[in-house]
Amino acid sequence: MRLLVLLWSLGPLLWQLRTSLLRPEALVAPMAGSNPWTLANYQLVLSGDPPFWRYLTNSGLVGLATTLLTLLLAVPCAYALQHHRGAWRWGASVALVAAAMFPTVLLFLALLEIARSLGLANSLLALSLPYTALSLPLAVLLLRAGFADLPGELEDAARLEGLGLGQRLRHVLLPLLAPTLASTAILVFLASWNEYAIALTWISRNDLLTLPIAIARIGGSSVFTIPYGAFAAATVLGSLPLLLLVLLAQRAIVSGLTQGAIKG
Amino acid sequence: MKLSGAKALLMLPALLLLVAVFLYPLLRYGWLSGHASSVLTGLRPVPNGGANWQRLIEDVRFWKDAGQTLRFAFCSVALELAGGLGVALLLHQPLRGRGTLRALTLLPWALPTTVMALGWRWILNDPHGPLNAALRSLGAPSYGFLTTPATTWFFAVLADVWKTMPFVALLLLAGLQSIPADLEETLRLEGASRIQILRRLTLPLLVPYLSLALLFRLAQALGVFDLIQVLTGGGPGGSTESLSLYAYLNAMRFLDFGYAATVMLATFLLLAVLLGVGWLLLRRARIARTTGGPA
């Protein structure tokens, strides 16, 4: 059973790996005699114009900016929401859940208009603004659950010591919240790394494309001319950072999703 | 409540950004949908009464896409819930290397949709993909998986299930881990079989997690865009086109922004009604059970 599950989730990826290592001729017909294996696909992708790693750094830059900005905005918001006992608290939760579920592709047209009128198109840092907004609902929900789990006496004690809100957050609450912060950060980063519809419409300059768009552009050429070997190499290179992230941060991702589930 | 001014201030930046990105577009679409704004008007909005909505009601393509989107969403979410439950039960068992296994099953969910959509296109390629190679080695002729409507639809669902089932599995796994182990043990000592335990204990306690996964996935599947755009382009013959893709094409290919906004707003309303009704039904079911109503 375990093997079956592994085969199901990794099979398509392993096939990409195999494809990326084969000569183009070997993809079309079995080659007799000569060695079908090659690294040429990787050379082709890495020496392209712009070189492939540019897309990785683009996506990484947007991802980092989005993650930082999201945490910066979500932490105070979650704190305030958690400490507010008002009638609209329930309403705020429902609105956040609804926003977290919103299919983002439906927003792209109005966002594109904003980007064009403010001159934000073709800027990677500007791209992190809508990304931050898209990640905020989930981040606030996760962090609010984290704040709710902290013992209230701790903050009361700190308040009696005369620490202001900023100091309490920095020295008392946030260190205790580190695991929640980490898993929130990873989920936000992943969402930004993978976003498609907004990046597709905001970015048109070749050297500023994020990874999903760059890869989809390869497929935009006709079905018959997609350079599948090079494309597979691009897939493998683009997946490696995520593979590492998921392997290293598996626990944080799972606990983040878990908390999200409990909140809902 | 002496701090409430300060608290409002803490929320303000996040609130402003959320309003700009979520609320403004909906208002803007509402406004645009009352205007013609296309190449014919020089891309300038000109009021046209209810013409866009009239057109939407008579638009065969919109309603066909709505049907296709619903069918796609219901099928793939049903499969994801069933498969995700199976995977969650499997991952819940104490196994050696469970952490690694979990991470590897999670991988498809973490990868960009477009990347693997193209991967699937290669796997389904006619005639060079592995699936056709396997067919040929069995002596069958190769098959245009992505040029026949039925198989294209099937593989679009399959690719979606492949990508998002890990997410569902993890949510359900979190639910499984919240069930106290001694409850299960007690039932086992009373002689209940594994199936009985699943039906009488595990599934009822998983209902909140199942509903959450259902609503979240349904919302995302009803808005499906990147998978369809890259895997099938909506084809063959528009047979896999989703509402989001239709809205996108109206804006970016036909440059008909007034109508695109109408389609987007209509899609949003359709989705909101569906999910709202689903949410109410699930809530009522939950309340009925916890107050001792008919199980």
Tokens at B105, concatenated: 């099953």
Q: Name the most confidently modeled range: A136-140, A232-236, A241-245.
A: A136-140
* Chain pair A-B, CB pairs under 8 angstroms: 234
Angstrom CA distances, A96 to A71, A182, B125, stand at 16, 20, 42
Q: B24-32 vs B257-290: helix axis angle to the nearest 10?
A: 130
Is the separation of the CB atoms in B196 and B227 below 8 Å? no
* Residue A195 main-chain phi, psi, to 5 deg: -60, 145
Q: Is the pLDDT of residue A221 over 70?
A: no
Neighbouring C-alpha atoms within 13 Å toward the C-beta of B203: 12
Distance CA B80, CA B171 (A): 12
pLDDT digits (tens, 9 = 90+) for A119-163: 888 888 999 999 999 999 989 988 988 888 888 888 888 888 888
pLDDT at A264: 44
pLDDT digits (tens, 9 = 90+) for A25-67: 677 666 556 677 878 778 777 777 778 888 889 999 999 999 9
**Residue-by-residue pLDDT tens, chain B, 295 positions:** 445 677 778 888 888 999 999 999 999 999 999 888 888 888 888 888 888 999 999 999 999 999 999 999 999 999 999 999 999 988 888 777 777 788 888 888 888 888 888 888 888 887 777 788 788 888 877 778 888 888 899 999 999 999 999 889 988 888 888 888 888 888 888 888 888 888 888 888 888 888 888 988 999 999 999 899 888 888 788 899 999 999 999 998 899 999 999 999 999 999 999 999 988 888 887 777 665 444 3
| Predicted ipTM > 0.90 | no
Q: Which residue is closest to A96 within chain B, CA to CA?
A: B18
- Contact: A76, B22; criterion CB under 8 Å: no
| Distance in Å, alpha carbon of A133 to nearest chain B alpha carbon | 5
Q: Which of A196, A251, A255 would best serve as a mutation to test chain B binding (most B beta carbons within 10 A)?
A: A196
H helix or E strand, kind and range, residue B212: helix B203-222
Looking at per-residue confidence, does A30 or A188 come out higher?
A188
Q: What is the DSSP letter of B46?
A: E
Distance CA A224, CA A213 (A): 20
- Contact: A133, B115; criterion CB under 8 Å: no
**CATH number of B68-290, picked from 3.40.50.970, 3.40.718.10, 1.10.287.80, 1.10.3720.10:** 1.10.3720.10
Distance CA A252, CA A180 (A): 8
Distance CA A188, CA A184 (A): 6
Mean pLDDT of A198-211: 89
Q: What is the DSSP letter of B179?
A: S
Look at residue B35 and give its three-state secondary structure.
strand
pLDDT at B50: 87
Give chain B positions within 8 Å (CB) of A28.
128
H helix or E strand, kind and range, residue B47: strand B46-47
Q: CB distance from A258 to chain B under 8 Å?
A: yes
Distance CA A214, CA A54 (A): 10
Burial class (CB in 10 A: 0-12, 13-18, 19+), A234: buried
Cβ-based neighbour number of residue B159 at 10 Å: 26
Give chain A positions within 8 Å (CB) of B117.
216, 219
Q: CB distance from B278 to chain A under 8 Å?
A: no
| Distance in Å, alpha carbon of A147 to nearest chain B alpha carbon | 15
In chain B the first and final C-alpha atoms are separated, in Å, by 44
Residue bearing tokens 């589930």? A261
Q: CB distance from A107 to chain B under 8 Å?
A: yes
Residue type, B1: M
Omega before B45 within 30 of 0, i.e. cis: no
pLDDT at A32: 59
**Average pLDDT along chain A:** 83
Give chain A positions within 8 Å (CB) of B167.
257
Distance CA B127, CA B129 (A): 6
Mean pLDDT of A159-174: 83
**Cα B38 to chain centroid, rounded:** 30
pLDDT at A259: 64
Residue type, A238: G
Q: Dump the DSSP string for chain A.
A: -HHHHHHHHHHHHHHHHHHHTB-HHHHHSPPPSS--B-SHHHHHHHTSSS-THHHHHHHHHHHHHHHHHHHHHHHHHHHHHHH--STHHHHHHHHHHHHHHS-GGGGHHHHHHHHHHHT-TT-HHHHHHHHHHHHHHHHHHHHHHHHHHS-HHHHHHHHHTT--HHHIIIIIIHHHTHHHHHHHHHHHHHHHHH--HHHHHH---GGG--HHHHHHHHHHS-TTT--HHHHHHHHHHHHHHHHHHHHHHHHHHHHHHHHHHHH-
Is the separation of the CB atoms in A211 and A193 below 8 Å? yes
> Which of B11, B106, B123 lies nearest to residue A253, judging by beta carbons?
B106
What is the domain class of A38-263 according to CATH?
mainly alpha
H helix or E strand, kind and range, residue B36: strand B35-36
Burial class (CB in 10 A: 0-12, 13-18, 19+), A7: exposed
Q: Which residue is closest to B28 within chain A, CA to CA?
A: A110
Distance CA A47, CA A65 (A): 27
Q: CB distance from A42 to chain B under 8 Å?
A: no
Q: CB distance from B105 to chain A under 8 Å?
A: yes
Closest to B115 measured CA to CA, from A52, A179, A5, A152: A52
Buried b (16+ CB within 10 A) or exposed e, A93-115: beebbbbbbbbbbbbbbbbbebb
Distance CA A198, CA B251 (A): 13
pLDDT at B65: 94
Angstrom CA distances, A257 to A39, A55, B51, B84, B269, stand at 38, 28, 44, 14, 28
Cβ-based neighbour number of residue B289 at 10 Å: 13
Tokens at A213, concatenated: 């768009």
Omega before A50 within 30 of 0, i.e. cis: yes
* B28: CB partners within 8 A, 6+ apart: A110, A113, B261
